[in-house]
Structure 1
Amino acid sequence: MAKIGSLPQAVAELVHDGDTVALEGFTHLIPFAAGHELIRQELRELTLVRMTPDLVYDQLIGAGCAAKLVFSWGGNPGVGSLHRMRDALATGWPHPLEIEEHSHAGMANRYVAGASGLPFAVLRGYAGTDLPLHTASISTVTCPFTGEQLAAVSALNPDVTIIHAQRADRAGNVQLWGITGVQKEAVLAAHRAIVTVEEVVAELTPVPGAVVLPTWVIDAVAVVPGGAAPSYAHGYYGRDNAAYREWDSISRDRATFTRWLKNLQGTPS
């Protein structure tokens, strides 16, 4: 059952060094505040999982939180590269970074398998790519009914999944809507789950297309208004495009990034 409390408390209790951690949210509802709390608590040796790692994962990698990245696309949307990720891969600064790359379909199916309690998922995919040659979690199976050879991907069960949502009720049931991505599957696949929300309300009223996650699949809910910024929360605030552009210049230079990091951590620069 979900416990409603503070974000620092939830991270301290539920996320540990060496954990596999998924911060999911596609285009909007990206859990930036939670990612920043991981940095402030100086988590280390994390395996970071995300279909589309963008700024928040660049920040986590640059802060030295990550040992490995499991993903299907990485970049600063509409702007360019993730420079802290590139630096870690090219030079090992601040720590060497291992990567495991998938297709979007492969990652989504891995979450579904994990959420379903299955050891792997089957899909038509990866044909014409060399990803299976470099990724141990991709294999093939032969259909017992047709003889067709299909791609298989191992289930993904994060130690912790963290998402952001629009609201929760007082019992810890969570509601999110808009572009919902794989948040539901990532939460259901995880051993532990943290949700940051814009607000807690007395009752969850119906919203077209909304996803409701019941309290018994969530460990902690934290009220963090603006917790998805600079991404957006549909119905609450828009995307801060300037922040995405600004990140390109901040992240290009180690010294500039280090000043940003010290400011985030509240330490003197």
Structure 2
Amino acid sequence: MSVHAADIDLAMKLADAAGAAIRPYFRREMGLEIKADRSPVTLADREAEAAMRRILDAERSGDGIHGEEYGVKEGVTGRQWVLDPIDGTRSFTVGRPIFGTLIALVDQGWPVLGIIDQPITRERWVGVMGRPTLFNGAPARTRLCPQLEGATIATTSPHLFDDDDVPHFMALVTAISGNSPRQGPVYGGDCYNYGLLASGHVDIVCESGLKLHDFAALVPVVEGAGGRMCDWNGDPLTADSAGHVLAIGDPARTEEILEALRNVPHDHDHDHDHDH
């Protein structure tokens, strides 16, 4: 499952192409539609993914493609390019530059290369299995988090959690905020939060309901910066994961975070198992 220089160059080329497709629509007429699952989609999402697929069809025709907008193309190499042209379409539609293009190379189900690209601010995190994560070409590092209380936690929106997951998330927030509930989570941000965590500005990101195209690229970025990505049971994230995602800047806090997620008052805990 090695990643070659040509893979990294290709991923950068995909990010450049997506950014070129997205920028003309930012804070302008974007052809907003609402999909069947009630999520927004714009011309920028569709054109960015189409641009990336054209490059992959030309240069890596044997590899599979898994894209948010145009679905799955089966490959023959055991490798799959996982594309989310705009992760954070809602932020994009209201003119907030905290969305990102996500590009991952997944080998036999394992994410081995990931890019988080913010095309408006031109910020790019590049993670490759076994190598240090780079932010705009310079090494990115997560920060130490000496104790759970007072840590900075981010999530895109509490409305994205299943009802079963909310008490677990709130139990973690309570463990972090201690007696100062005003220091609540940072909301909004989608994939941008994981880049900020990789660069040492956020300690924890906790989300559920994510799909492969939402999290595959994040894994090499966070782990190459010294952090840890896992599900709510502490297991590594693969193509088979259910979508409960934790990013932890300081891996020393992992057990406390997992314990806090489990520490739900019993009236809430009706035999909930995260592996549904």
Task: Say yes or no: TM over 0.5.
Answer: no
Question: TM-score of the superposition, structure 1-length normalised?
Answer: 0.23
Question: TM-score of the superposition, structure 2-length normalised?
Answer: 0.23
With CA pairs under 8 Å and 6+ residues apart, which has the higher RCO, 1 or 2? 1
